[in-house]
Structure 1
Amino acid sequence: MENNNRQVRESLKGINIYLVGMMGAGKTSVGKLLAQQLGYGFVDTDNVIEKAAGKSINDIFASEGEDSFRQMESKVLQEMSAFTRLAIATGGGIILRLENWGYLQYGLVVWLDAPVELLVARLQNDTTRPLLKNADLATELENRFHQRQPLYAQADLQISISQEQTPEQIAKQIIEAIPTVLRKRPQSNNGH
């Protein structure tokens, strides 16, 4: 396994891995494992935003609004894309801004595609998500998923997630798929 991870790491040539997908898909859990197994650093864009702003995502949404948050998110993504050898867990809406794709395209974009029912089960007691406040959770997630699905589908790699899968299994599935995905990519996208 370690030998395979080293080969995958070498085939990546230092490009970042960006995890995209809906809130609750497991981007942070899987991203930490990917970073560990590939010898990469790990960054969660939401955590960076909270540290930079000195307040929670909920507080940013409440005091400054979603547009302000999305601007911060784009700035963090821009800064992270200047680095190499990172596994980056992004916010669920990062794919909504065209400018963000300008940064994402220089890395390997992995869509963690979790069914809405699984997201509902994972998020039903989560009070930290500002976009889910005062909403029927299933309806809200369904609407957001359908709005974002065509954008997520632009990822280099789609990993369909089931209830039974552990983050370890998902990370392993991504690592095993990376060499095939890299072979199919135009060479101009393999790094800056």
Structure 2
Amino acid sequence: MDDFLKGTNLYLVGMMGAGKSTLGKILAHDLGYRFADTDAVIEQAAGQPISAIFAQDGESAFRALETQVLGQLASYTRMAIATGGGIVIERKNWSYLQHGVVVWLDVSVDLLYDRLKGDQARPLLQAPDPKQVLQTLLNQRRSLYAQADVTISVTEPQAPEAIAAQVIDRIRAILRPPHSTAE
């Protein structure tokens, strides 16, 4: 594949369950990039699952770790990086994200809920009405996610490979130089 991104990192943002990790691996393969998942890096560095970090130290401690990990990953090039759903909340994180191409996987709440039902590993979903939690989080974050360079809307199940192809097509479209109207 040609290097149309010229080594620029690709950051996937969106709600938990949007498919950022699955898609990130496919995009990394297709682009000849390396893949990283901020949540997995945090768990590896902390030596415990995110749910334990939330339980022991709280969300703010987790968010601080998340910013630290993002800063470290952002120093590399040729990376496809799946971020945690709330990474867009911290303003400092945008200083890292904006050095790459940011792709928002905008997945409907119904589809997110179908994917995440019964997932005990998501601390924010351990609530009486997890679907309402998803809707509330999306409402809080939507304007932040919308700052992405590319938005891919997913309202029904699609093959991850098909979504990856859409992402690459959309990125190519925004990176293409405008056509000259001069004759």
Residues in 1 aligned to 2:58 and 2:177: alpha-carbon distance in whole angstroms: 40
Find the counterpart in structure 1 of residue 181 from structure 2: none
Q: Secondary structure of the residue that 1:12 maps to in structure 2?
A: coil
Alignment of 1:1-192 (within 5 A): 6-7=1-2, 10-183=3-176
Following superposition, the deviation at residue 180 of structure 1 comes to 1.3
Q: TM-score when scaled to structure 1?
A: 0.90
Q: Which runs of 4+ in 1 moved over 6 A?
A: none
Q: Secondary structure of the residue that 1:22 maps to in structure 2?
A: coil
Root mean square deviation of aligned Cα: 1.2
Q: TM-score when scaled to structure 2?
A: 0.94
Residues in 1 aligned to 2:94 and 2:54: alpha-carbon distance in whole angstroms: 23
- In structure 1, runs of 5+ residues without a counterpart are 1-5, 186-192
Find the counterpart in structure 2 of residue 189 from structure 1: none
Number of corresponding residues: 178
Q: Whose helix fraction is larger, Structure 1's or Structure 2's?
A: 1
Does the 8 A contact of 2:127 with 2:133 survive in 1? no
Letter in 1 for 2:103: V
Residues in 1 aligned to 2:63 and 2:134: alpha-carbon distance in whole angstroms: 19
Residues in 2 aligned to 1:55 and 1:93: alpha-carbon distance in whole angstroms: 19
Q: Deviations over 1:124-146 (max 9, x none)?
A: 11110011112311110000000
Following superposition, the deviation at residue 184 of structure 1 comes to 7.0
Q: Secondary structure of the residue that 1:69 maps to in structure 2?
A: helix
Residues in 2 aligned to 1:66 and 1:184: alpha-carbon distance in whole angstroms: 42
Does the 8 A contact of 2:12 with 2:20 survive in 1? yes
